Structure 1
Amino acid sequence: MNKLHVAVLMGGWSNERPVSLMSGNGVADALEARGHTVTRIDMGRDVAQVLAATAPDVVFNALHGTPGEDGTVQGMMDLMGLAYTHSGLAASVIAIDKALTKQALVPHGIPMPGGRVVPVAEIFERDPLPRPYVLKPVNEGSSVGVAIVTDHGNTGNPVSCDAVGPWQQFDHLLAEPFIRGRELTTAVLGDRALLVTELRPKSGFYDFDAKYTEGMTDHICPAEIPDDVTEACRDIALRAHRLLGCRGTSRSDFRWDDERGIDGLFLLEVNTQPGMTPLSLVPEQARALGMDYGELVEILIRDALAQKEVR
């Protein structure tokens, strides 16, 4: 691959800033090790001016959360005529919004949990669904602000406004039925579904800390699950990637109720900006298939340059 000037866009001001910085610095290190010139940009409000002054050949978008994953930064870079990694504006707008994702995918036969977006004020008056159920922000990633409401929780009945939870941070939340069982995830790279990883948190559920604290979650890759479930995960992940118009790489997260067999598999969300930290799942699956981290990063760079030619 020809040596390039790559701007690695990271940081920002979302709740996922620390993860983005880890992802971005890992990517930058890998690119520099392969001889590319790298400019590391911790995104501020002047990001357009900084990118214009940097004039890179391509931007590696290592941002997580808003505004780097929701179409805002993508639209800006489209207007600037920049090549950039990962999904474009439309796919980013839809995938960051869990309710919009359901509207886009469920009519095409993608199995996803039911549920609805509810005002927080309603949650304080009555349970929106029978317990147990899950409450989560509509447009956050990395399990930020996810709460499982059970009969035995300390949230009250109905949920108490004094209890710690996402209802203290957001005006609206997505309420979904709680699906018992196992956490599975599948990465897509280009137009290929990779492997299925099972995630086994050592305590609680697969929340932000379990995702990014070493030793808190066991990763079984490839997952030790029936072949039909493996193939279903890979098929659904690839179909969702295509239906949403994702580019580069994405990661689809599932819950699988193993007591129900294949009928117990549900897609929870599609991540258009999967993490690239040492504990992240896309690099892990690529590594299991014989692809090292630097090679993965360069594949995403090549895809970004090819996509610019198409545009």
Structure 2
Amino acid sequence: MSRVAVLYGGISAEREVSLVSGRQVIPALRASGFEVIPIEVTRDLGALIAALTSARPDVVFNALHGRFGEDGCIQGILDWLEIPYTHSGVRASALAMDKAAAKSAFAAAGLPVARHRLVTREELAAAHPLPTPYVVKPVNEGSSVGVEIVRNGDNRRAEIARNWRYGAHAMAETYIPGRELTVGVMGDRALAVTDIIAAAGAFYDYESKYAAGGSRHVLPAQIHPDAYEAALDIALRAHQALGCRGATRADLRYDDTEGEPGRLVLLEVNTQPGLTPTSLLPEQAAHLGIPFPALCAWMVKEARCGA
């Protein structure tokens, strides 16, 4: 029986999400017959290395989210320790987490991305970096942490700049009207397209993603068949463009405001999709007949070191 260490918690802004993911994964792996060693990750890196060294797991299930958990940092440590781990390797993880680098890779692969630019706090405070409406987001965060939409007539730009706490630069990106879509990928297979409708028409923010009732998921998305197939294709090609492995989830905007089949724009790829009760990847897997324990077991079987 394989010994699997589940890493969860971490030190990013997404710690609470990771704790929930880990608490879902642990019993699922046990139900699949694995011996599971839960390891809650804190700021004590020495304690983490000691726990891994002592446990001697065959595989690490990486249920960490956000910085240091899905940006290549923990992946590098696990490569150093020669312990196979779930999800993507160092390079793909770092590339996907850096939104500017990821968009460059997507554009080079011919995938549709929104107009965007990096700005300093001072540049954002001084003037609009793009015509309104536009989105301001951290370069290296997930789960919509720190995302703001600056709309026509909005006077919050200087306030956003003044309160910015997500690094020296922010990404400004043209706001794409329409719908929020997401597509899960398992290995070489795009799963399905979900249409995400935030409660009361709100922006699909952190609260909408993880609070019960925060959003409604339409699966499969009720969109034009050509757009549906194109979304599956974009997600798989984005996964491949970054060099990902295991499971990922691509987030897209679908501008159908002038009718269908509309226009798809790739926003980003999440290399550590959430595994909480409201998360999208497990929902899509279940839609295709893959129960949660089987999804987690598949991730363990796909685990390896290196790129």
- Deviation digits for residues 143-164 of structure 1 (CA, Å, limit 9, x no counterpart): 0000001134351xxx223x59
Q: Does the aligned pair in 1 maintain the 2:125–2:161 contact within 8 Å?
A: no
Q: Deviations over 1:11-41 (max 9, x none)?
A: 0110000000110110001112233211111
Q: Which residue of structure 1 lines up, in the alignment, with residue 184 of structure 2?
A: 187
Query: Is the aligned partner of 1:234 residue 2:235?
Result: no
Alpha-carbon contact 2:125-2:162 (below 8 Å) kept: no
For residues 206 and 139 of structure 2, the distance between their equivalents in structure 1, rounded to whole angstroms, comes to 16
- Contact 1:144–1:208 under 8 Å retained in 2: yes
- Given candidates 160, 171, 176, the residue that maps to 1:174 is 171
CA drift at 1:124: 0.7
| Residues 1-311 of structure 1 mapped to structure 2, 5 A cutoff | 3-44=1-42, 45-46=45-46, 47-155=48-156, 159-161=157-159, 167-203=164-200, 204-260=202-258, 261-262=260-261, 264-304=263-303, 307-308=304-305
**Could you tell me whether the CA contact under 8 Å between 2:177 and 2:257 is conserved in 1?**
no
Would the aligned equivalents of 1:255 and 1:268 in 2 still touch at CA under 8 Å?
A: yes
Give the SS at the match of 1:6.
strand
Q: How far is the alpha carbon of 1:168 from its aligned partner?
A: 4.5
**Identity rate, percent:** 49
What is the DSSP-based 3-state SS (H/G/I as helix, E as strand, rest coil) of the residue aligned with 1:91?
A: helix
SS at match of 1:124: helix
Summarize deviations over 1:18-67 as a string: whole Å, max 9, x none: 00011011000111223321111111322222211111010000000010
2:29 is aligned with what amino acid?
A: L
Report the Cα distance in structure 1 between the residues aligned to 2:261 and 2:8, rounded to whole angstroms: 38
Residues 32 and 297 in structure 2, CA contact (< 8 A), matched pair in contact too: no
Q: Are the equivalent residues in 2 in contact too, given 1:137–1:145 (CA < 8 A)?
A: yes
Q: Which amino acid aligns with 2:207?
A: D
SS of the residue aligned with 2:102? helix
Using the alignment, how far apart are the partners of 1:165 and 1:77 within structure 2? 38
- Matches of 2:75 and 2:162 in 1, distance apart? 31
Q: Per-residue CA shift, 1:119-141, capped at 9, x if unaligned?
A: 01111111111111100000100
C-alpha distance in 1 between matches for 2:60 and 2:238: 25
**Quick one: which amino acid aligns to residue 238 of structure 1?**
L
Q: Distance in 2 between matches of 1:263 and 1:111?
A: 13
Q: Give the deviation of 1:216 after TM superposition.
A: 1.4
Structure 1 residues 58 and 166, CA, compared in 2 at 3 Å: closer, same or farther? farther
1:180 is matched by which residue type in structure 2? P
Looking at structure 1, the residues matched to 131 and 93 of structure 2 have their Cα atoms a distance apart, in angstroms, of 32
Whole-Å Cα distance in 2 between the matches of residues 154 and 126 of structure 1? Answer: 11
SS in 1 for 2:236: helix
Structure 2 letter corresponding to 1:289: L
**How far off is 1:97 after superposition?**
0.5
Residues 186 and 237 of structure 1 are in contact (CA less than 8 Å); yes or no, is this contact kept in structure 2? Answer: yes
* TM-score, normalised via structure 2 length: 0.95
Which residues of structure 2 form unaligned runs of 5+?
A: none
Q: Could you tell me whether the CA contact under 8 Å between 2:121 and 2:161 is conserved in 1?
A: no
SS across alignment from 1:183: strand
